């Protein structure tokens, strides 16, 4: 059997997804035995031009991590789509927009203002802003265009599979790789490397009928290690998040952040979690409920931390 040709690309992301691939440790050797890496900017020296020269569908599987934030991301998304048989949205940003998608709560202008003018550590009296083109004596310099709105990968190109997580758990990555090698992939469009059920299914914490007496934060309180975090009043997105990460957060006594995305059939992970949690707050009147909810400092970013770009509302309108 000829060796598989695989690629990994890092679009608008933090780099954690590529590190997760490296976290396969010695198993990376098994990967290398079964596949040739034909494009992986972080680890191998290939240029975009090398990819452009490839015949279409030359790559068997591309793992695309990161959201589509700028024109360079978008160009590579189209390019890799064309050159790959199977395109996998890898990690939360490609899957749902991820943390990068929180940018959709602001406009490009607001982001640029914060980054280049209105902050404590920048002096920019001349109000210099990134330009698409800048003339210098040597010629013309260009920058990719920064879009107003972040998109997840499948809002730009057709995607075959989604491998969630921020970053994906290396064990899941290896399992999915095994499935690819064995040709045992589920139907196109599936989420792979994650369970159909939510975190609660296998969470070892003790659960009872849910009633939340009030919300607490890790900054000021310490949860016990045995009881369901939500029942203790610590926000946990586990109720509306697929399992697969091996409960990394809950095991370190922290509520799930939701990076594995919603279970099947859920359109908006944040709204679902919000509606579930709102349903079980122990308040009989509006004033009590309001006081409780006010203890959650930033609901939009809490509940849709990874999924703003994927939610039906998509962005704040500005």
Partner 1 sequence: MSNKIGVYVCHCGTNIAGTVNIPELVEFAKAQGDVVVAREYKFMCSDPGQALIQEDIQKLGLDRVVVSACSPLMHEPTFRGACEKADLNRYLFQMANIREHCSWVHVDKGAATEKAKAQLAGAIGKARYLAPLIPKKVKVNPATLIVGGGIAGIQAAIDIADSGRKVYLVEREATIGGKMAEFDKTFPTLDCAACILTPKMVQVGQHPNIELLTYADVEEGKGFVGNFEVKVRKKTRYIDEEKCTGCGICQEKCPYKTASEFEHGMMKRKAIFMPFPQAVPKVPRIDPNTCVYFKTGKCKACVKVCEPQAIDFERKDEIVDIKVGAIIMATGYKLFDAGKIAPYGYGKYPEVYNSLEFERMVSASGPTGGDIKMKSGEKPKSVAIVHCVGSRDRRHNEHCSRVCCMYALKFAHLIKERCHEATVYNFYIDMRCFGKGYEQFYQRLLDEEVRFVRGRVASVSDFALDESEKGKLVLRVEDTMVGETRRIPVDMVVLANGLEANADAAKVGRLFNISAGKDGFYIEKHPKLAPVSTATEGVYIAGACQSPKDIPDTVAQASAAAAQVLSLMSRGEIEVEAATANIHEELCSGCRVCNTMCPYSAISFDDDKHVSRVNDALCKGCGTCVAACPSSAIFAQHFTDQQIFSEIEGVLHDVRA
> Which of 98, 238 has the CB closer to partner 1?
238
Sequence-separated (6 or more) residues with CB below 8 Å from residue 179: 185, 192
118-140 burial, b at 16+ Cβ within 10 Å, e below that, comes to: eeeeeeeeeeeeeeeeeeeeeee
Q: Which residue has the tokens 């095991």?
A: 251
Sequence-separated (6 or more) residues with CB below 8 Å from residue 1: none
- Residue 272 within binding range of partner 1, rule CB under 8 A: yes
Q: How many other CB atoms sit within 10 Å of the CB of residue 144?
A: 14
**Distance separating alpha carbons of residues 103 and 110, to the nearest angstrom:** 10
> Which of 19, 280 has the CB closer to partner 1?
280
Sequence-separated (6 or more) residues with CB below 8 Å from residue 227: 205, 206
**Distance separating alpha carbons of residues 88 and 60, to the nearest angstrom:** 11
Site stretch for partner 1 (CB under 8 A), options 20-28, 82-90, 180-188, 233-241: 233-241
User: Of all residues in the chain, what percent are helix, strand and coil, respectively (each to 5)?
Assistant: 35, 20, 45
Which of 2, 126, 139, 264 forms a contact with partner 1 (CB under 8 A)?
Answer: 264
Least distance (Å) between residue 250 CB and partner 1: 13
Structure tokens given for 195: 């369970």
Which of 7, 194, 229, 273 forms a contact with partner 1 (CB under 8 A)?
Answer: 273
List the interface residues with partner 1, window 40-59 (CB under 8 A): none
Q: Are 76 and 9 in contact (CB under 8 A)?
A: yes
Q: Which residue has the tokens 């780099």?
A: 15
Least distance (Å) between residue 191 CB and partner 1: 13
What's the Rg (C-alpha) of the chain? 22
**Distance separating alpha carbons of residues 276 and 191, to the nearest angstrom:** 23
- Residue 239 within binding range of partner 1, rule CB under 8 A: yes
For residues 168 to 197, the per-residue mask of contacts with partner 1, x marking binding by CB under 8 A and - elsewhere, is: ----------------------------xx
**Distance separating alpha carbons of residues 211 and 213, to the nearest angstrom:** 6
Site stretch for partner 1 (CB under 8 A), options 53-61, 89-97, 184-192, 258-266: 258-266
Q: Are 219 and 198 in contact (CB under 8 A)?
A: no
- Residue 249 within binding range of partner 1, rule CB under 8 A: no
Exposed/middle/buried for 112, CB within 10 Å: 0-12, 13-18, 19+?
middle
Number of residues that bind partner 1 (CB under 8 A): 28
Least distance (Å) between residue 94 CB and partner 1: 23
> Which of 57, 197 has the CB closer to partner 1?
197
- Residue 275 within binding range of partner 1, rule CB under 8 A: yes
> Which of 8, 199 has the CB closer to partner 1?
199
Least distance (Å) between residue 240 CB and partner 1: 4
Which of 34, 105, 276, 300 forms a contact with partner 1 (CB under 8 A)?
Answer: 276
Site stretch for partner 1 (CB under 8 A), options 11-19, 102-110, 173-181, 277-285: 277-285
Which of 101, 170, 238, 255 forms a contact with partner 1 (CB under 8 A)?
Answer: 238
> Which of 133, 284 has the CB closer to partner 1?
284
List the interface residues with partner 1, window 194-213 (CB under 8 A): 196-201, 207-211
**Distance separating alpha carbons of residues 28 and 21, to the nearest angstrom:** 8
For 133, list phi and psi in degrees, rounded to 5.
-135, 140
> Which of 14, 276 has the CB closer to partner 1?
276
Contacts to partner 1 by CB under 8 A:
196-201, 207-211, 238-240, 243, 262-267, 272-273, 275-277, 279-280
């Amino acid at each position: 059997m000829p060796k598989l040709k695989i690629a990994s690309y890092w679009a608008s992301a933090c780099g954690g997804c590529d590190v997760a691939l490296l976290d396969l440790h010695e198993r990376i050797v098994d990967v290398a035995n079964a596949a040739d890496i034909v494009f992986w900017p972080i680890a191998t020296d290939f240029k975009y031009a090398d990819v452009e020269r490839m015949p279409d569908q030359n790559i068997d599987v591309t793992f695309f991590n990161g959201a589509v934030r700028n024109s360079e991301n978008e160009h590579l998304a189209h390019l890799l789509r064309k050159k790959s048989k199977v395109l996998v949205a890898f990690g939360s940003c490609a899957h749902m927009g991820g943390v990068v998608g929180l940018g959709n709560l602001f406009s490009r202008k607001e982001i640029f203002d914060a980054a280049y003018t209105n902050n404590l550590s920048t002096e920019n009296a001349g109000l210099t802003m990134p330009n698409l083109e800048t003339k210098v004596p040597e010629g013309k310099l260009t920058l990719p265009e920064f879009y107003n709105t972040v998109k997840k990968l499948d809002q730009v190109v057709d995607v075959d599979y989604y491998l969630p997580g921020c970053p994906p758990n290396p064990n899941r990555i290896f399992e999915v790789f095994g499935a690819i090698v064995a040709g045992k992939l589920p139907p196109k469009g599936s989420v792979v490397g994650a369970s159909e059920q939510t975190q609660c299914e296998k969470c070892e914490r003790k659960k009872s009928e849910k009633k939340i007496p009030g919300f607490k934060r890790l900054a000021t309180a310490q949860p016990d290690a045995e009881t369901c975090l939500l029942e203790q009043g610590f926000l946990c997105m586990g109720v509306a998040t697929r399992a697969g990460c091996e409960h990394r957060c809950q095991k370190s006594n922290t509520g799930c952040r939701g990076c594995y995305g919603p279970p099947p059939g859920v359109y908006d992970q944040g709204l679902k979690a919000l509606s579930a949690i709102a349903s079980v707050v122990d308040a009989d009147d509006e004033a009590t409920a309001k006081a409780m909810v006010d203890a959650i400092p930033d609901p939009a970013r809490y509940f849709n931390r990874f999924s703003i770009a994927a939610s039906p509302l998509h962005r704040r309108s500005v």
